[in-house]
């Protein structure tokens, strides 16, 4: 971490434990699932057993007559307003295809009805008593089936939701100029987010028509808009609060359980808790979009890539939700990695009768970069070139321009990441191991991949956040932030920035977070915007407060405000060594003599859309008899502009590697012929265990002044490190076995198929 040497800051760059670590490890942290309100009821949902059907009749009488049942909700007695659970803000234009309950079910796991009862056990029993008669409709489980010309429309207007198309240069002409052209088809699978905390909400609809919802949401202000649309309530009558989030990874960006709990609370005028089991979370919430990609790449004999044409289909599942958002995000990210002047990207999201696809860490980049990075590895092998060298000659430089918009990329450092990653894992040595194991049963493979992700929603829609700081009369302060801390200590990062500016210790800065009644408007926590956008908003708010504190301290010190310096919890006279007053004294003077309170808020719009970069190198061992792969060593280096908290970044990076390797090697949701998902618990689903993790080498590149526009030059880590994991490990497997795998996951069966062997 280049910038950590000779650190000129007092707080920036310190290894700070996440602020709620003690309460988490001792079990004292209060999550929504732990909460219980007076008079609270418990809810259960009846899920569809059919992949596609119309409800001919539904009889809830037996459930309603069960003692302890307080309400039963179906499409017959609930609002039929269509909405989109991925809505971000009031003018957001995306297809409205969902209802709380509909008379048509479109996947196994769709909501049919819900019950609120005195106990969870009564609610579970009541759900079983609901009788439903279905008229089955045509089922389309795959994109290929859904896009046929005569395919039955899952929604009015057909099964193609829309499109995103971006291009630069003259791709067709450039292809003709190339020495070679490769064209391949790549597919990626549906996967579950696997956050430890399940989806849960408590709704409390009071008699004065104020709806309060406690939910581990990443998007409280967006949820407020959706709930307003469904229930026709003004925003001042809706309060969304996220007390704590036990992991999300995008899965809690879209509204799932909240409207069900809300409508049951409205019917009963009592608080209602709805908490999904793991099985219900898997089939009833969100998955990562599956994809089909046809990628055509033209390149020269010297390895320089001259043209790329990418055509994608994304499987959005039964409802639109993030279909257009994810597709649009994909369409711009692929232009950020390489110096390719001629590129074309086209994507169509498609409805199928499968689990709804939504936001997940990486937001389309893992699918896009899997195919691109796999094809670059194929090109390197074809040209008998080192894949890392081929990557480096094509990577963007800090002075590169985006080929579409001809704007600077900012300060991209993928080449520095590559060099450091090679150094950490002793790249030349492991490549020799790969060559020496060519003829053995156990073969060593080395794979390299680049990943790119953005830092905000700049260019897609407005990206704004507002933070507020309030000083207390004892010199402590409170930060009001709309941010939702998902375990990455995003709010802790904001506190470090405030502490750096004001010179107030971290333990004297408290926070109020993610509450639409207490905090100012915030776009939501996604798009890896936490550091670059929200961190900068924190810096601006703190700088405004600094001016106010300097003004008050100048009265006590009898100097000009600009001569006041703030550090070590004191205001110092910069003209006379050792002369100072405490911040507490400053605030007492402010309240007693100036007779005012200090409260500052700043709104910060994202000024531009830079990208974060990461290069990962995997060393694997493949058993050619069983197809099993063991990842032995893994090097990951990320370009983050400037490191604010290395301890937090290391945790995020290790977690991303775990998630990305699982995506590449084993995680998958499959279906039987009737459309039933087969992996509905962790034992069936298969997650990478701690013992499966490789030896990790991790570092961060932070060059010069970092990324323009970020707090102290910082930009995100967040989603970016998930992107290169799957292609890095699959490239390593393919280089080990000398055969190609173009579909995820690269499990033992896939390895044996690539080797031309059948499994038992």
The 10s digit of each residue's pLDDT in 294-335 is: 999 999 999 999 999 999 999 999 999 999 999 999 998 899
For residue range 374-393, what is the model confidence (pLDDT) as tens digits?
A: 999 999 999 999 999 999 99
pTM above 0.85, yes or no: yes
Give 702's pLDDT tier (boundaries 50, 70, 90): confident
Token pair, residue 756, equals 């031309």
Q: Residue 219: is its pLDDT beyond 80? A: yes
Q: How far apart are CA 34 and CA 277, in angstroms?
A: 15
Residues of the chain with CATH 3.30.365.10: 1-30+384-455+610-760, 459-605
User: In sequence order, which residues have a C-beta less than 8 Å from that of residue 646 and are 6 or more positions away?
Assistant: 1, 4, 13, 15, 700
Secondary structure element (H or E) that encloses residue 53, with its range = strand 53-59
Which ranges in 178-300 belong to alpha helices (H)?
220-231, 258-268, 278-284
The Cα–Cα gap between 129 and 225 comes to 34
pLDDT for position 533: 96
Confidence category of residue 460, pLDDT binned at 50, 70, 90: confident
Position 461 scores a pLDDT of 84
- Counting Cα atoms < 13 Å in the Cβ hemisphere of 100 gives 25
What's 262's DSSP letter? H
High-pLDDT (> 70) share of the chain, %: 99
User: Average of pLDDT values for 34-54?
Assistant: 98
Give the pLDDT mean for 411-434.
Answer: 97
- Euclidean distance between the first and the last CA atom of the chain, given in angstroms as a whole number: 48
Range 57-74 average pLDDT:
98
| C-alpha distances in Å from residue 647, one per residue of 99, 453, 650 | 43, 21, 5
Average pLDDT over every residue of 445-474: 94
User: What mean pLDDT comes out for the span 717-734?
Assistant: 97
Q: Determine whether domain 1-30+384-455+610-760 maps to CATH 3.30.365.10.
A: yes
φ, ψ for residue 14, nearest 5 deg: -75, 150
pLDDT at 1 over 70: no
Cβ-Cβ contacts under 8 Å for 524 (sequence gap 6 or more) = 88, 218, 219, 220, 221, 222, 253, 484
Residue 85 tokens read as: 């659970």
Determine the average pLDDT of the residues in 426-443: 97
The 10s digit of each residue's pLDDT in 521-536 is 999 999 999 999 999 9
Which of the four pLDDT bands, split at 50, 70 and 90, describes residue 351?
Answer: very high
pLDDT at site 3: 43
Identify the architecture of domain 459-605 in CATH: 2-Layer Sandwich (3.30)
Query: Has residue 723 got a pLDDT over 50?
Result: yes
Question: What pLDDT, on the 0 to 100 scale, is given for residue 405?
Answer: 82
What are the residues whose beta carbons fall under 8 Å from the beta carbon of 698, sequence distance 6 or more? 635, 636, 637, 650, 653, 654
Give pLDDT, residue 392: 98
Chain-centroid distance of CA 118 in Å reads 36
The mean pLDDT of 226-240, rounded to a whole number, is 98
- What pLDDT does 760 receive? 55
Percent of the chain topping pLDDT 90: 94
Supply the pLDDT for residue 7: 65
User: Stretch 490-495: mean pLDDT, rounded?
Assistant: 96
Identify the pLDDT of residue 419.
Answer: 98
273 contacts: CB under 8 Å, gap ≥ 6: 35, 36, 40, 41, 42, 43, 200, 201, 202, 261
Predicted local confidence at residue 693, as pLDDT: 97
**In the predicted model, what is the mean pLDDT of residues 342-349?**
98
Residue 543 buriedness (CB in 10 A; 0-12 / 13-18 / 19+): middle
């Amino acid at each position: 971490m280049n910038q950590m040497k000779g650190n000129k800051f007092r707080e920036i760059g310190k290894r700070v434990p996440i602020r709620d670590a003690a309460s988490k490890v001792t079990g004292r942290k209060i999550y929504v699932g732990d909460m219980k309100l007076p008079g609270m009821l418990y809810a259960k949902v009846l899920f569809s057993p059919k992949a596609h059907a119309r409800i001919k009749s539904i009889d809830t009488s037996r459930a309603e007559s069960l003692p302890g049942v307080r309400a039963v909700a179906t499409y017959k007695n609930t609002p039929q307003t269509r909405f989109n659970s991925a809505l971000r803000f009031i003018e957001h234009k995306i297809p409205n295809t969902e209802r709380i309950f509909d008379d048509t079910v479109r996947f196994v796991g769709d909501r049919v009805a819900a019950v609120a009862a005195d106990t969870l056990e009564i609610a579970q029993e009541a759900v079983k008593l609901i009788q439903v008669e279905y008229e089955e409709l045509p089922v389309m489980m795959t994109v290929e089936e859904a896009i046929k010309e005569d395919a039955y429309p899952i929604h009015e207007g057909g099964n193609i939701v829309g499109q995103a198309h971006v291009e630069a240069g003259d791709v067709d002409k450039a292809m003709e100029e190339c020495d070679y052209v490769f064209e391949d088809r790549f597919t990626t699978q549906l996967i579950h987010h696997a956050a430890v905390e399940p989806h849960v909400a408590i709704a409390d609809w009071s008699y004065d028509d104020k709806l309060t919802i406690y939910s581990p949401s990443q998007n409280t202000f967006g949820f407020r808009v959706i709930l307003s649309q469904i229930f026709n309530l003004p925003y001042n009558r809706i309060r969304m609060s996220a007390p704590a989030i036990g992991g999300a990874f995008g899965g809690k960006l879209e509204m799932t359980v909240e409207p069900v709990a809300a409508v049951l609370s409205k019917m009963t005028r009592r608080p209602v808790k709805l908490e999904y089991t793991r099985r219900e979370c898997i089939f009833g919430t969100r998955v990562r979009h599956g994809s089909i990609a046809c990628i055509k790449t033209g390149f020269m004999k010297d390895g320089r890539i001259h043209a790329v044409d990418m055509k994608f289909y994304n499987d959005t599942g039964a409802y639109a939700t993030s279909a257009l958002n994810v597709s649009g995000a994909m369409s711009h990210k692929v232009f950020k990695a390489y110096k390719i002047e001629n590129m074309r990207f086209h994507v169509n999201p498609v409805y199928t009768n499968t689990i709804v696809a939504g936001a997940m860490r990486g937001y389309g980049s893992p699918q896009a970069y899997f195919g691109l990075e796999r094809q670059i590895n194929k090109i390197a092998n074809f040209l008998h070139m080192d894949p890392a060298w081929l990557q480096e000659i094509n990577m963007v430089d800090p002075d590169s321009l985006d080929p579409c918009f001809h704007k600077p990329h900012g300060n991209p450092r993928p080449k520095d990441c590559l060099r450091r990653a090679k150094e950490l894992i002793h790249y030349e040595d492991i490549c020799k191991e790969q060559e020496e194991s060519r003829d053995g049963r156990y073969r060593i493979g080395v794979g390299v991949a680049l990943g790119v992700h953005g830092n905000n929603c700049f260019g897609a829609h407005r990206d704004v956040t507002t933070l507020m700081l309030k000083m207390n009369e004892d010199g402590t302060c409170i930060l009001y932030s709309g941010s939702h801390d998902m375990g990455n200590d995003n709010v802790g990062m904001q506190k470090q920035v405030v502490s750096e500016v004001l010179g107030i210790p971290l333990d004297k800065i408290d926070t109020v977070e993610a509450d639409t009644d207490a905090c100012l408007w915030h776009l939501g926590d996604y798009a890896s915007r936490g550091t670059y956008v929200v961190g900068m908003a924190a810096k601006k708010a703190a700088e405004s407060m600094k001016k106010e504190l300097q003004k008050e301290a100048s009265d006590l010190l009898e100097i000009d405000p600009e001569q006041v310096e703030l550090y070590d919890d004191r205001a110092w006279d910069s003209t006379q060594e050792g002369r100072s007053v405490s911040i507490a004294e400053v605030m007492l003077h402010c309240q007693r003599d100036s007779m005012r309170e200090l409260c500052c808020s700043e709104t910060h719009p994202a000024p531009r859309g830079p990208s974060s970069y990461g290069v990962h190198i995997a060393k694997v061992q493949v058993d050619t008899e069983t197809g099993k792969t063991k990842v032995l060593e893994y090097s990951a280096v990320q370009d983050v502009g400037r490191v604010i908290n290395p301890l937090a970044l290391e945790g995020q990076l290790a977690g991303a590697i775990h998630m990305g390797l699982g995506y590449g090697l084993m995680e998958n949701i499959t279906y039987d012929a009737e459309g039933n998902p087969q992996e509905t618990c962790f034992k069936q689903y298969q997650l990478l265990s701690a013992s499966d993790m490789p030896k990790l080498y991790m570092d961060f590149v932070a060059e010069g002044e970092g990324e323009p526009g970020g707090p102290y030059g910082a930009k995100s880590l967040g989603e970016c490190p998930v992107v290169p994991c799957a292609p890095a490990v699959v490239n390593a497997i393919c280089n080990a076995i000398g055969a190609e795998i173009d579909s995820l996951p690269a499990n033992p069966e896939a390895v044996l198929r690539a080797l031309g062997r059948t499994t038992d």
